[in-house]
Amino acid sequence: MLVIKPYRRDRAVEYARKYAFGQNPVFGNFRGIGGNCTNFVSQSIYAGSCVMNYKPTYGWYYISLDNRAPAWTGVDFFYNFMTQNTDVGPFGSEVPRDALENGDVIQLGRNDDGYYHTLLVVGFDGEDPLVAAQTDDAYARPLSTYTYDFSRFIKIDGVRVEVADSALGVDCFESVFNGVEIVTPPGVVLPEPTPTPEPSET
């Protein structure tokens, strides 16, 4: 049976603060091959949830550069997973801008390119969200300093876990925060590598 545990917004923000201008060695880097922004936001949300969804193709997971879900690194795949996920892992919903909290997500779009950039909310200056991002590395950068044609806002509502799964006792934060390893819960069968579309972002 699935149960919902809280999303640790504080941990997601703490992770983003540590790695916004650097690279966690346990994750690959997609700079120069599509961009690293969604990868970075996925890492931050993982630090705040400690649960991946290992469903091949349609899940949200990172094992290696060659074995990851499209939703981990692709802007639209990420949106689709977070707003449609009814299985294990973090889940969210598209909300108005004024519903955002720390640890939520903003995606920016251009008329010619569609959605192209993923940002993590790490604070507010009045009504202006402050964001963290990679590719164009930033921490606490005002959203108002970005140029874009449209945007969407994703609230991370919670994290689903299996009640009977021993993963309930697994806490990934210290390991991933310190760049040691990605914690795989006991008994989880990892998917085999499959071709993954390159992330479509800058």
Residue 45 placed within a domain: yes
Token pair, residue 68, equals 């990851």
Provide the domain count of the chain.
Answer: 1
pTM of the complete model: 0.83
Question: Counting Cβ atoms within 10 Å, is residue 68 exposed (0-12), middle (13-18) or buried (19+)?
Answer: buried
170 located within any domain: yes
Is 164 a domain residue? yes
Is residue 18 domain-resident?
A: yes
Give the pLDDT band of residue 192 (cuts 50, 70, 90).
confident
Whole-angstrom Cα distance, residue 129 to residue 102? 9
Res 201: pLDDT: 57
User: Is the pLDDT score of 40 beyond 60?
Assistant: yes
Per-residue pLDDT, averaged over 146-169, amounts to 84
Is position 102 within any domain? yes
pLDDT tens digits, 99-152: 999 999 999 999 999 999 999 999 999 999 999 999 889 999 999 999 999 999
Please check whether residue 28 lies inside any domain of the structure: yes
Tell me whether residue 190 is in a domain. no
Q: Is 184 within the bounds of a domain? A: no
Domain that holds residue 156: 2-177
Q: Express each pLDDT in 55-64 by its tens digit.
A: 999 999 999 9
